[in-house]
Structure 1
Amino acid sequence: MTRPGRLATVVLLIGAAYCLLPVAWVVIAATKSSSDLFSTSTLVPGGALIDNIARLSGFRDGLFWQWVANTALYAGVGAALSAALSGITGYTLAKYTFPGRALVFNVLLAGILVPGVVLAVPQYLLLARLGLADTYLSVLLPSIVSPFGIYLARVYAAAAVPDSVLEVARTDGAGEFRIFLTVGLPMMVPGLVTVFLFQFVAIWNNFLLPYIMLGDDRTFPLTVGLVTMLKQGNAQPALYNLVITGALLSVLPLVALFLTLQRYWRIDLMTGAVKG
C-alpha cells in the first residue's frame, strides 16, 4: 500500500472510531444496572440488559412501546407519502415542459436551504389555527413534503428514465399516468427508496417538530419521550438506565431498515454496470 493509501486508511479508521465509540458506549451502558452505571469502568459490560428491557417495558404500563408505535407510524407513513409525492413531482419536473417549471424548481432549491427549525413555529401556528395541533396529523402533514426528496427524484428521473422509452409508450397509445405507473415508476424505484430512507430517518430522529406540536405523552415519538424520561432522571436516577436502553432499542429499527433496503442500491449499481 502506498503512503497516501496508508494515510487515507488511518483517517478513515479515526473517523469510524469517532462515529462508533458513542454507539459502543450506549451498547455497553445498556447492559449495566443502575448501581453499576457510574461506578464501574466505562468499557466493562454488565449483565442487566434483559432486566433493563423488562423495566423499560413496564414503565407506565408500556408507554415506551407506545412511543415506538407512534414513531413507526410517523416515520413509516410520512416517508411513504413523501416518497410518493416526491416521485410524482420529480418525474413531472424532469419529463414535462410547462410554464413556470424553472420557477418551481428554483423554489424547491430554496426550500432545501431553509432549516426545519425555522419552519417549526409557523407550522405549529398554522396547524393550531386548523385545530390539528396535538394530533397525529400535526406531525404527519409537515413530514410529507420534502424539497430535498423532490429534488433528488427529479434528478434521478432525468437520468434513469429515457425520453425515447416514454415516446414509444405514447406511440402505443398509453396515457401519461399509465406511462408513469408502468414505465417511469419502476425505473425510479432505487431513487425513491433513497428518498424513503432519508425521510424515514429524518422523521424517526426528529425532535423539535413533535416537541412543539404534541402535548399528550401518549402521542410522543421516541425522541420526545426519551427526553421527558431523561428530565425525570434528575429526581429518579434509576431512569437513566431506562433512557440508555431505550436509546439502544430506538437505533435497531434504523439498522434493520438500512440492511433491508441496501439491496436496491446494489441492484441499481449492477444494472448501471451492465448498461455501461
Structure 2
Amino acid sequence: MTATPTVRAAARRSGRPPLKPTARQPRRRSAVLTVVTGVMLVYAILPLAWLFISATKTQEDLLGTFGLWFGGEFALFDNIADTFTYQDGIFGRWVLNTVIYVVVGAGGATLLAALAGYGLAKFDFRGRRAVFAVVLGGIAVPPTALAVPTFLLFAKMGLTDTPWAVIIPSLVSPFGLYLMWTYSTEAVPNEILESARCDGAGEFRIFFKLALPLLAPGLVTVLLFNLVAAWNNFFMPLIMLKNADLYPLTLGLYSWNRQANTVGGDVVFDLVITGSLLTIIPLTVAFLMLQRYWQSGLAAGSVKQ
C-alpha cells in the first residue's frame, strides 16, 4: 500500500518522508482466558443438558440410569402429554396464570419504571434527592425482607389468595426505575423536548411519541429483568396463594415435587423435570429475540460523548 500523491506532496513540502500505514495488529489470544471461558460454558450448559436428557426418560429410567445419558426408551413426547393431562390438565392452567402474571406484572412494572425514570430525569422539582435516596434504598432491601409486611397488608385488604396478591407487588421495580432514570438522562435530548413543547405538544404526548422510541433499548433491558423476575417468582406466591388453580408454574411444579414426601402421594419426578424443561423455553426464546436490544441498552452511557 503506497502513499497518495497528496500525501507525498505534503511530505516534500515539510521535508519529512511520508508515513507508512501500519499493518493491522492481530488479535491477542489468551490460553488462560480460553480455558476459563470453556469451563464457564460447560458450567452453564451441563444443567441444561441434564434437564433435556432427563426429560426424555421414563420414571424408571430416571431413577435407574446415568443422569447424563439417555435411557432405554425415548419418552419425551409421552412425558409432555402426561404433563398436560395430569390432575385434569392443571399444568395448562399454571402456564396461563404465569403468562397473565408476567404480562400484567412485568409489563406494568416496565411502563411504570419508564414513566417514573423519565420524569425524574427530565423534570426538576423539590424532593428529587429524597426520591433518589428512596429508590436506592429500595434496591438495597431484599424482597424477602418485605414479604411478611406485604402479606399482612394484603391480608388486611382481603387480597390474599387472589391474582392481585402476585401482580401488585411485581409492579414495583426499584432497579428498573433506576435503570430508566440513568438511561433517560442521556438517551432523550432536552432540545427535542423543548421543541415539542414550543409546538404545543402535551407532556404525555411527548413521552409516548418522542421519548418512548428513544428509550426502546433501555426499555427492553428493564423488560427482560422484570420478565425473568415475574416468570421465576416463587416466594411471594408461596405465602400469598392457597388455591392451586392460581399457582404459577414455579409453585405448581414445587407442589408436584413435594408429593413424593407425603404419605400416599404420587411420585411424578418425570413430570416435574419435563415441566421444568417446558418452563425455560419461553425465557430462552425471549432472550434470543431481544438480545441485541438488551446489549445496546446495557452499553448506553458507557462512553462519554
TM-based fold match above 0.5: yes
Distance 2:67 2:266 in 1: 18
Q: Deviations over 1:16-36 (max 9, x none)?
A: 211221111111000001111
Over 3 Å counting, the alpha-carbon distance change for 1:209 and 1:271 in structure 2 is closer
1:14 correspondence with 2:43: no
* 1:44 alignment partner, SS class: coil
How many residues are aligned here?
A: 273
Distance change in 2, residues 1:96/1:125 (3 Å): same
Task: Give the conservation status (yes or no) of the 8 Å contact 2:79–2:270.
Answer: yes
| Secondary structure of the corresponding residue to residue 154 of structure 1 | helix
Contact 2:234–2:250 (CA under 8 A) maintained in structure 1: yes
| Higher share of residues assigned helix | 1
Q: Which whole-Å CA distance do the structure 1 matches of 2:64 and 2:98 have between them?
A: 33
Please identify, of 166-175 and 18-27, the stretch whose mean Cα deviation from structure 2 is larger. 166-175
* Counterpart-to-counterpart distance in 2, 1:270 and 1:236: 50
Which deviates further from its counterpart, 191-200 or 39-48? Answer: 39-48
State which structure, 1 or 2, has the greater radius of gyration over its C-alpha atoms. 2
Give the SS at the match of 1:60.
coil
Q: 1: distance between equivalents of 2:217 and 2:256?
A: 38
User: How far off its partner does 1:268 sit?
Assistant: 6.6
Identity, % of aligned positions: 49
Question: What displacement does 1:257 show?
Answer: 1.1
In structure 1, the gaps of 5 or more residues are none
Whether 2:51 is the aligned partner of 1:26: answer yes
Match for residue 45 of structure 1 among 49, 56, 70: 70
Match of 2:287 among 243, 255, 258: 258
What's the secondary structure of 2:49's corresponding residue? helix
Does the alignment pair 1:227 with 2:240?
no
TM-score normalized by structure 2? 0.84
**Structure 1 residues 230-239 or 57-66, which shifts more?**
230-239
Match of 2:149 in 1: 122
Over the residues paired in the alignment, what is the CA RMSD in angstroms? 2.1
1:28-177 matches, within 5 Å, as 28-46=53-71, 47-177=74-204
| Distance change >3 Å, CA 66–CA 39, structure 1 → 2 | same
Structure scoring higher RCO (CA < 8 A, sep ≥ 6) equals: 1
Give 4+ residue runs of structure 1 displaced > 6 Å after superposition.
1-4, 266-272
- TM normalised by structure 1 equals 0.93
Q: State how 1:179-198 maps to structure 2 within 5 Å.
A: 179-198=206-225
